[in-house]
Amino acid sequence: MSDCDRRFDVIIAGAGMAGSCCAAALARLGLTIALIDPGPVPNWHPDDYQLRVSALNLASENILKSVDAWPLISTLRVSPFRQIEVWDAESTGQLTFNAADTGLSHLGHIVENIAVTSALIKRLSATKNVRLLLNDRIEHVDSGTEDLSVRLASGETIVATLLVGADGTASTVRQAAGIELDERQYEHQAIIAHVVTEKLHRETARQRFLPTGPLATLPLSDGRSSIVWSATPELHDTLATLNDEAFAESLTDALEGRLGHVTSVSPRRSFPLVRSHAQHYIGSRIALVGDAAHTPHPLAGLGANLGFVDAAALAETIEDAIVKGRDISDRAVLRRYERWRKGDNELVLTIMDVFYHAFGRQNPGMINLRALGLNVTDRVGLLKHFFVNRATGLAGDLPRLARSFST
């Protein structure tokens, strides 16, 4: 094997949504990229419905359009959501966001995660300056030499100027860099499933805050809804023992019949809810993006969107460094990325914590305060517009790839 086949500008560990997007964004700059993942080539199939979906906001759509992945994603069973309904089970508080009220055609799309990764990998497989190293994993990282070197499980050693960790919460790259992770479990388990309902979802995402945790429904393109039910351990264990008919009845009651009766339930999956944040986003010739750097509570569906913005911000930081003739792995360069994203992500994590605790407390004062907050936001146009901008991802210090996209 020639040096050209083993030497890259950037190695990216993790070919999930954030890692694949980062590879596509960096490849646009003419950099040579190696993308490593222990899994096989992701393959979306029209007859295989995946439970894991994401609510991609407009900023994420812009990023995916900019890397030329959205045209394919948009053909793979995506559903727009044009309205968001939020209400509190313990009070009269309720809030509705409508895209039309702010001059938008939609607020985002519900997309199967595998549809996103399939489209990105297909895009990357046709890119000459990208080498896909799937079904392989990192065994060892050495950043102490002139070049950073990575030894793979296959026995191959590759070298690069920069290593990007996009390899999830248990990130090998983060551990190799010696970066500590602040992590704690929420006192909830999440149940996910796809359901058929008596009433149409009308391209509306819904979230009801129950005393036992939030319940979200997300509209799917085939008329079904995806549910994410965050529940206390006691309720989770009860729900897990129910047959499909009893679970559907409990879900109908929990949604107050807003979608009519739940008539059919797919196989369900459960997972613990964890909040994590890396103490640093950078190390020696190393940068972290996506879940390797942070995992928020899923109640606002922000995890994937934060990862896409991380990828776009890192790509922009590297692009600006190249224009100025700087080393893309220079710590001062990477610090710009860390300053840009760490504070924003910490704010999101904190806001999610506030919502989690505020809606988890059932004393009369907190219940009345929640009702006031939801109802005032619903009635004050400027306040609602502010939150719509946040929900669509179009507020704050955005990377160029995330800003309004025009064809």
Predicted TM-score (pTM) of the model is 0.95
Residues 194, 175: Cα–Cα separation, whole Å: 35
Taking 90 as the threshold, does the pLDDT of residue 386 lie above it?
Answer: no
Only one residue has tokens 């089970």, namely 89
Query: d(Cα 79, Cα 225) in Å, to the nearest integer?
Result: 10
Cα 341 from Cα 314, distance rounded (Å): 9
- CATH number for the domain running over 3-79+104-182+275-362: 3.50.50.60
Q: Which of 31-40, 137-146, 160-169 has the lowest mean pLDDT?
A: 137-146
> Which pairs with CB-CB distance under 8 Å and at least 24 residues apart come from 402-405?
402/59, 402/60, 402/62, 402/63, 402/308, 402/309, 402/312, 403/62, 404/62, 405/61, 405/62, 405/65, 405/66
Average pLDDT over residues 116-123: 97
Looking at residue 35, its amino acid is L
Q: Please determine, for residue 382, whether its predicted confidence score (pLDDT) is greater than 80.
A: yes
Confidence at residue 85, expressed as pLDDT on a 0 to 100 scale: 96
pLDDT-derived band at 144 (thresholds 50, 70, 90) equals: confident
Reported as a pLDDT band with limits 50, 70 and 90, residue 407 is very low
Q: What is the pLDDT of residue 352?
A: 83
pLDDT at 161 over 60: yes
How is residue 33 written in tokens? 């990229």
List pLDDT tens digits, range 222-271: 999 999 999 999 999 999 999 999 999 999 999 999 999 999 999 999 99
Which band of pLDDT confidence, cut at 50, 70 and 90, is reported for residue 99? very high
> Is a pLDDT exceeding 70 seen at residue 301?
no
pLDDT band at 2 (very low <50, low <70, confident <90, very high): low
From 234, 196, 194, select the one nearest 213 (Cα to Cα): 234
Q: What pLDDT score does 406 carry?
A: 41
**Position 102, amino acid:** T
Give the angle 227-228-229 at the CA atoms, nearest 5°. Answer: 110
30: phi > 0 → left, psi -120 to 50 → alpha, else beta; which? left
Strand order in the sheet with 53-57: 53-57, 108-112, 79-81
Q: What is the pLDDT of residue 4?
A: 59
What does residue 379 show for φ and ψ, rounded to 5 degrees?
Answer: -100, -20
Q: Give the chain's radius of gyration (CA, Å).
A: 22
* Residue 404 clears pLDDT 80, i.e. is over it: no
Residue 116 pLDDT > 70, yes or no?
Answer: yes
End-to-end CA distance of the chain: 41
Q: How confident is the model at residue 367 (pLDDT cuts 50, 70, 90)?
A: confident
Q: What is the pLDDT of residue 359?
A: 79
Reading the block at residue 21, the tokens are: 């997007």
